[in-house]
Amino acid sequence: MTARRRPARGDDGAVTALVAVLLGTGVLLGVAAVVVDVGRLYAEREQLQSGADAAAWAVGEGCATTPAGCADQDATAGGYADGNAADGAATVTEICGSGPGLPACPAPVANRTSCLGTVPAAVPYAEVRVETRLPDGSTVLPSVFARALTGQRDGTTVGACARVAWGPPRVAEGFAVTFSICEWRELTQDGTAFWPSPSAGLPPPQAEQIIRLKDSTGASTCPAGPSGWDRPGGFGWLDDPSASCAVTVETDGTFGGNTGNSASQPCRDAMWEAWEARSVVLIPVYDAVRSQGAGTTYHLAGFTSFVMTGYQLSGFSAPSWLTGLRRCGGAERCLYGYFVRGLVRTTGAQIGGPDLGAAVVNLVG
């Protein structure tokens, strides 16, 4: 067996001499300067981007829900930008876009970070641009090692940008229940009777509406649609491929129906959770239905926002938390609740559908 060679004492001296040379010539200090200073810039950039994202989202929600549009969003944006900075300070340099009350976005200042992607067409949007602000009010992030080595006080101003768009969803994931556009028009008085979301206060008892299952006693009827289509009244269950009581409308505006009269267990759970939390759910509204049985296909008219106050269905029910009443009895199967105009948080939404009361916000740059 060959014995392992131990380093000669002279090797240790060579390494020591090499380190001394590198330190003497400033190579190691230069590398340290690059690593530390650039690392601080990346950390600052990440904080600013998080703040810009949060601020833009808040501005988009305010624009979508405030009658005055996007006016007076400076304080909102500033609070979110500051809240995501490690030192609690950031500067909002620009709030712009195409939303009501917003100035058009100018070209980004040289050497500043701009929003990614292209500006969305035909939908309102807002951009929030932020940059470094230190506790002393300076907008320049100073270097550490480089200043110590060279004596120069130059630093860098770091920037970030985020863009959001908002509007009625065109393609989205909704609750696995649907009803017809004619029924929506009747229940909302042709789109004029909306109420505040539960977080903003409760409506009067007369806001509560009853929607009966399509095959239930007392279900409404609607006129026939185009040739080959039909529009019966009453709500119906939808396909639930993910077993989460959620349906995704296809890009061609269609979605599959479920002919059963009983809710699946996932829909029972989801309905109870929506009832208990008094949350707003996104419901697809159809303007036509084709075929029957397992091949039932609905065509999307748009999405509406609905607050479920109670329900009476096969095997399970809940009284209204708004009125305390059970609105259906006997063979009737129904949902009850009221319609709101406001935001719904959903995944994979695409903006650009007709306005039936629901709105979504998307980060688009």
Question: Is the model more confident about 95 or about 242?
Answer: 95
Residues 180 and 198 in one domain: yes
Residues 72 and 179 in one domain: no
**What is the number of domains present in the chain?**
2
215: domain range?
Answer: 169-360
15 found inside a domain: no
Q: Which range has the worst mean pLDDT, 146-155, 204-213, 284-293?
A: 146-155
Instruction: Tell me the pLDDT tens digit for each residue of 333-365.
Output: 889 999 998 887 776 678 888 889 888 888 887
**Which pLDDT does position 228 carry in this prediction?**
42
Q: Which one has a higher pLDDT value, 261 or 358?
A: 358
The answer as to whether 308 is a domain residue is yes
Question: Is 8 a member of any domain?
Answer: no
Q: Say if 4 falls within a structural domain.
A: no
90 and 136 both lie in a single domain: yes
Q: Are residues 157 and 186 in the same domain?
A: no
Evaluate if residue 158 carries a pLDDT over 70: yes
Residues 260 and 111 in one domain: no
Last residue of a domain, one of 150, 166, 182: 166
Shared domain for 208 and 343, answered yes or no, is yes
Q: Output 77 or 311, whichever has higher pLDDT.
A: 311
3-state SS of the chain? CCCCCCCCHHHHHHHHHHHHHHHHHCHHHHHHHHHHHHHHHHHHHHHHHHHHHHHHHHHHHHHHHCCCCCCCCHHHHHHHHHHCCCCCCEEEEEEEECCCCCCCCCCCCCCCCCCCCCCCCCCCEEEEEEEECCCCCCCCEECCHHHHHHCCCCEECCEEEEEEEEECEEECEEECEEEEHHHHHHHCCCCCCCECCHHHCCCCHHHCEEEEECCCCCCCCCCCCCCCCECCCCEEEECCCCCCCEEECCCCCEEEEECCCCCCHHHHHHHHHHHHHCCEEEEEEEEEEECCHHHCEEEEEEEEEEEEEEEEECCEEECCCCCCCCCCCCCCCEEEEEEECEECCCCCCEECCCCCCEEEEEECC
Is 354 part of any domain? yes
Question: What pLDDT is stored for residue 304 in this prediction?
Answer: 93
Q: Is the pLDDT of residue 182 over 80?
A: yes
The pLDDT of residue 94 is: 85
Residue range 65-105, pLDDT digits in tens: 776 778 777 787 878 777 776 666 677 888 889 988 888 98
Q: Are residues 200 and 60 in the same domain?
A: no
Q: What does the pLDDT read at residue 340? A: 92
Mean pLDDT of the chain: 77
Provide mean pLDDT across the span 45-59: 85
Q: Is residue 59 part of a domain?
A: yes
Domain boundary among 148, 166, 184: 166
Would 120 be classed as within a structural domain? yes
Whether residues 102 and 137 fall in one domain: yes
